[in-house]
Amino acid sequence: MTKNDKEQENLSNWKKSFEKETKKSDAEDFYFSTDEEIDIKPLYTKEDLNNLSFVEPNSLPGSSPFTRGPKASMYTNRPWTIRQYAGFSTAEESNTFYKKNLESGQKGLSVAFDLPTHRGYDSDDELVKGDVGKAGVAIDTVEDMKILFKDIPLDQMSVSMTMNGAVLPILASFIVAGEEQHVGRELLSGTIQNDILKEFMVRNTYIYPPEPSMKIVADIIEFTSREMPKFNSISISGYHMQEAGADNVLELAYTLADGIEYVRAALSKGLDIDEFAPRLSFFFAIGTDFFMEIAKLRAARTLWSKIMKDFGAKKEKSLILRTHCQTSGVSLTEKDPYNNIVRTSYEALSAILGGTQSLHTNSFDEAIALPTDESARIARNTQLILQNETGVTKTVDPLAGSFFIEKLTDEISKKSWDLIEEIESLGGMTKAVKAGIPKLKIEESATKKQAKVDSGDRVVVGVNKFKNPKEPKIDVRVIDNDKVREDQINKINKVKSIRDENLVNESLLKLTNAAKENKNLLEYTIEAMKHRATVGEASKALEEVFGRHFATSLSVSGVYGKHFDKNEDFKNVSKKIDSFGKKHGRRPRVLVVKMGQDGHDRGAKIVATSFADLGFDVDMGPLFQTPKDVAKDAIENDVHAIGVSTLAAGHKTLIPELIDNLKNIDPKSKIIVFVGGIIPEQDYEFLYNNNISAIFGPGSNIIESAEKVIELIIKKNN
């Protein structure tokens, strides 16, 4: 008997034993199809390593195609960098938080900015009064940036900044703050996210249309390549795609397709690929599918190495995909929130086994509010335990050679490559984004995921199975939005009172002209911020030339409903909706909206599409509406209910304003208002006292929510 015959006999015996133990006639009955439509088998053998398309099982860490890691010594010489995002209300508070974290073992700083800053509005703008300091730190001028980094040596500390829309004034303010700290721009290290293409797909913190936005990216790559050798000019983000509902194939493919577009933008500036490529970095989310996430990171490095070779890169460093990861925000639940600590621990381990170079662990309370100091400590300690107690840093890529991992890496590589080729056939990601194709595919994926949770096909412990009968009370971070905004306005007024207005106006005019003349915009923005122009003023100077982008809202249909063909709860809710329609001569009409500058529209889109599948007439409001806009639209369109989606903590400001506007326009209005999203339970009473009819937190079942809404509509219209 040959060795091969013996192996086949062993495999046959295993199959017989498996079928006997499981009482199934075929092991294939246990195949599991993932969200990515990859079939997972109950057993993998070395035969699965035959005929792989992308993976070279004998490759080594630190060598092309870098499947096993970007560095030969991965973690044995130096562990991954621990990063925790911070950005809470004011620069002063965030600065204090940074210092505490650095004292506790954190190695790099990561800054989250508030939504008005992202969207290029100053804190005194009436459009943003409910958003200031809510989901990050408010930055209006260089003075705020100087406070943010007070007593933090910027020549020694790596700083990562998540910024897209107002990237020019923010990066310029960082450079000026460094210089006024006596740290030259050539000594500044870190990353600016600057991945604008994904904003048009998912998060929507854009300002300008796609083409001028890409020009800004190219300008930043050009400037930093020339003047800031230690600074990474872009972090290309798949994280926000997964947050919006993308499966791992979509996240990987679209992130790399974005990367291809940015490489082209840099090449269009005449830059040498081997000069700028080593300073491109990537940012991925790590969800709960443990092995898939490991395979995704390995596949990302493998594919990027191929892509860069195809672009003609010659240096090994140019072929390396450098990555930062963050444990998933969308996997966090409001219900039974201490489970989130377990989730993020497994997700962190997955990122490490996949070979990330830096990591942010989400806090267990982030599905409810911004993290407290205590929850941030737990999140940071998750990584410190992994680094110091588990032994995971002792061996480079310990899962290499696993039949399952190698095969899975190849599978996700193949599927992602097919999608990348599809984007390329459309003319690249900028054109695909303008056509709205990636956005729709991500929204379809999000709706499928929600349907699986609501139908019970996917278990979420503590949410749809193994529920905790007594939900724990947890402390949450509370931010006084009115006080923060007042303080920011005072600081803006102080800066304006002492600056030289002529110099400011002159520098802003130069910036506008630079946009008209296709000059490097970062150079001129630095000058404007140095003279103490505000973020809003610099953004408007460019808006004069580029305009402001307004997205067209499209939605998928039928995706949610098809998962509930035999579901009695789904049918019962649909019957109630139909019955209302017959009695009143029209279907119950719901307006689903976002208010303020919060562009995270995953929840709103899922509610809109699923409610439509249940039988509601659904209108989807445009992004960035004011409460007055929403009230006017609702009354003009004669809706029965308004569903407000909120993820950026503006609910205590914007929702009462909406209620007041409804009363002012039509005192006899029967419109009910319900709200969903990240809302601390401590705020429920406040909202109910302000005439909110229902509140649905993260993890809420859509069918149960819809039933509550139709019952409220029926009661109001009897």
Beta bridge partners of 282: 236, 323
Q: Are 369 and 363 in contact (CB under 8 A)?
A: no
Q: Are 325 and 356 in contact (CB under 8 A)?
A: yes
Q: Are 74 and 80 in contact (CB under 8 A)?
A: no
Nearest to 114 by CA among 142, 91, 98, 146: 91
Q: Are 219 and 192 in contact (CB under 8 A)?
A: no
Query: How far apart are alpha carbons 115 and 106 in whole angstroms?
Result: 26
Catalytic residue among 35, 71, 75, 85: 85
Query: How far apart are alpha carbons 698 and 679 in whole angstroms?
Result: 9
Residue 526 tokens, joined: 């630095």
Dihedral angle sign, alpha carbons of residues 366, 367, 370, 373: negative
Q: Are 708 and 694 in contact (CB under 8 A)?
A: yes
Amino acid letter, residue 532:
R
Based on the residue annotation, tell me whether 531 is a catalytic residue of this protein: no
Catalytic residue among 239, 254, 262, 524: 239
Task: List the helix and strand counts (H, then E) for the chain.
Answer: 26, 16
Parallel, antiparallel or unpaired: strands 39-40 and 32-33:
antiparallel
Based on the residue annotation, tell me whether 360 is a catalytic residue of this protein: no
Based on the residue annotation, tell me whether 254 is a catalytic residue of this protein: no
Query: How far apart are alpha carbons 559 and 26 in whole angstroms?
Result: 31
Query: How far apart are alpha carbons 479 and 483 in whole angstroms?
Result: 9
Nearest to 133 by CA among 541, 605, 477, 639: 477
For 603-638, letters b (16+ CB in 10 Å) and e give bbbbbbbbbbbbbbbbbbbebbbbbbbbbebbbeee
Catalytic residue among 124, 140, 336, 598: 598
> What's the DSSP call for residue 323?
E
Residue 179 tokens, joined: 């210089």
The H or E element spanning position 252 is helix 248-267
Q: Are 226 and 233 in contact (CB under 8 A)?
A: no
3-state secondary structure of 627: helix
Catalytic residue among 407, 449, 600, 605: 600
Based on the residue annotation, tell me whether 338 is a catalytic residue of this protein: no
Based on the residue annotation, tell me whether 594 is a catalytic residue of this protein: yes
Q: Residues near 272 by Cβ (< 8 Å), separated by ≥ 6? A: none
Phi, psi (degrees; rounded to nearest 5) at 384: -65, -35
The H or E element spanning position 255 is helix 248-267
**How many beta carbons lie within 10 A of that of residue 8, not counting itself?**
13
Q: How is 390-432 classified by DSSP, letter by letter?
A: S-TTSSSSTTTT-HHHHHHHHHHHHHHHHHHHHHHHTTSHHHH
Terminal-to-terminal C-alpha distance of the chain: 82
Catalytic residue among 129, 240, 415, 531: 240
Phi, psi (degrees; rounded to nearest 5) at 417: -60, -40
Based on the residue annotation, tell me whether 584 is a catalytic residue of this protein: no
Q: Residues near 716 by Cβ (< 8 Å), separated by ≥ 6? A: 640, 670, 672
Is 665 exposed, middle or buried, given 0-12, 13-18 or 19+ CB atoms closer than 10 A? middle
Beta bridge partners of 589: 617
3-state secondary structure of 133: coil
Length of the chain as a residue count? 718
Q: Please list the helix, strand and coil fractions of the chain in percent, rounded to the nearest 5, in that order.
A: 50, 10, 35
Catalytic residue among 441, 594, 605, 651: 594
> What are the catalytic residues?
85, 239-240, 594, 598, 600
